[in-house]
Amino acid sequence: MVRMSAEERRESVIRAATAEFARGGYYGTSTEAIAKRVGVSQPYLFRLFPGKKAIFLAAAERCIEDTIRTFSEAAEGLEGEEALHAMADAYTRVIAEQPERLMMQMQTYLAVAAAEQEGDHEFGEAVRAGWMRLWDTVHLPLGADIGETTTFMAYGMLINCLVAMGFPPGHRVWEGVYESARTKGRPEH
């Protein structure tokens, strides 16, 4: 048994929760599964967080923060086409190394409707605010071009869906995605 400070434990709970919620979504993930992954007893989670919802929320918010940081760091000091490529490359790395981050984001989006139905309007509010922050983060380096930004986000969502469906890398559905990353933003002739 490895003892940790509560704050450190909370961190590893967030990581474990991200992986588990990414696969099963809010309802398809038991707190026991999270606890197992952390290597801690299930009831102890409720000492670290007030409830399951709070764990989901913490994981969701962390996820958005991470993605915002990924893009803002990638685009730092660049703009226009260069920024676009840098951010696209950064996202490609996330796809390969942390697909659970993409999946968790999708789960977060879909959890909004369910939360809304249960009377929780704050959750949707928080998710939309996070989206807007993400949007603005890519908007500026892309020269504040709404069309470019929207297309970039659209490709991101397409990638998320393809990853979710489990299309293996190299499958023909990815062709158009890579192609676009190569040609997009190039001066027309």
Q: Which two tokens stand for residue 101?
A: 């981050």
What does 41 interact with, of its own copies, DNA, none (CB < 5 to 8 A by kind)? DNA
C-alpha to C-alpha distances, 154 to 74, 140, 157, 189, nearest whole angstrom? 19, 17, 5, 25
What does 32 interact with, of DNA, its own copies, none (CB < 5 to 8 A by kind)? DNA
For residue 41, state whether it binds DNA (rule: CB under 7 A). Answer: yes
Task: State how far Cα 8 lies from the chain centre.
Answer: 22
Which amino acid does the sequence have at 5?
Answer: S
- DSSP string of 98-159, one letter each residue: -HHHHHHHHHHHHHHHHHHHTT-HHHHHHHHHHHHHHHHHHHTTTTT-HHHHHHHHHHHHHH
Q: How far apart are CA 14 and CA 70, in angstroms?
A: 18
The only residue of 14, 18, 25, 29 in contact with DNA, by rule CB under 7 A? 29
Structural contact between residues 117 and 32, judged by C-beta atoms closer than 8 angstroms: no
For residue 2, state whether it binds DNA (rule: CB under 7 A). Answer: yes
The only residue of 14, 16, 19, 31 in contact with DNA, by rule CB under 7 A? 31
For residue 44, state whether it binds DNA (rule: CB under 7 A). Answer: yes
> Judged by CB, which is closer to its own copies: 27, or 44?
27
> Judged by CB, which is closer to DNA: 39, or 143?
39
Residues of this chain that bind its own copies (CB under 8 A):
22-28, 103, 106-107, 109-110, 112-114, 116-117, 124, 127-128, 131-132, 135, 146-147, 149-151, 153-155, 157-158, 160-161, 164-167, 173, 175-177, 179-180, 183, 188
